[in-house]
Amino acid sequence: MKTKHAKTILINVFLLLNFCLFNAKLFAVQTKPTFCVLGVKNNLKNEKWKDLGIGFGICDLITQELYNSKMFTHIETNEDIKEQIKKSRIIFWKYGNRKTENKEKKDPFKADIIFWGEITSFTVKKRKSFIGFASKYKTTVKVKITLHMIDKKNNIKLSSSAYGTAQKGAKAIFFEINNNKKLDFNSSMAGIATKQAVKKALQKILNRYKKIIKGGTQ
Mapped to the 3 state alphabet, what secondary structure does 105-162 carry?
CCCCCCCCEEEEEEEEEEEEEEEEEEECCEEEEEEEEEEEEEEEEEECCCCEEEEEEE
Q: In what order do the strands lie in the sheet with 113-131?
A: 73-74, 34-42, 113-131, 134-151, 156-166
Looking at per-residue confidence, does 214 or 206 come out higher? 206
At residue 102, the pLDDT reads: 41
- Answer whether residue 83 shows pLDDT above 50: yes
Mapped to the 3 state alphabet, what secondary structure does 179-196 carry?
CCCCECCCCEHHHHHHHH
- 134-147 pLDDT, tens digit each: 556 788 999 999 99
**Pick from 74-78, 197-201, 206-210: least confident:** 74-78
- Answer whether residue 185 shows pLDDT above 80: yes
With cut-offs at 50, 70 and 90, classify the pLDDT of residue 32.
Answer: confident
- Of 189, 176, 196, nearest to 54 by C-alpha is 176
- Answer whether residue 70 shows pLDDT above 50: yes
With cut-offs at 50, 70 and 90, classify the pLDDT of residue 71.
Answer: very high
Q: For residues 65 and 202, is the Cβ–Cβ distance under 8 A?
A: yes
Residue 179 half-sphere exposure toward CB, CA atoms < 13 A: 0
At residue 76, the pLDDT reads: 77
- 115-169 pLDDT, tens digit each: 999 999 999 988 766 565 555 678 899 999 999 999 988 999 999 999 999 987 5
Mean pLDDT of 6-35: 57
Q: For residues 114 and 38, is the Cβ–Cβ distance under 8 A?
A: yes
Q: What is the mean pLDDT of the chain?
A: 80
- Answer whether residue 80 shows pLDDT above 90: no
* DSSP classification of residue 1: -
At residue 77, the pLDDT reads: 74
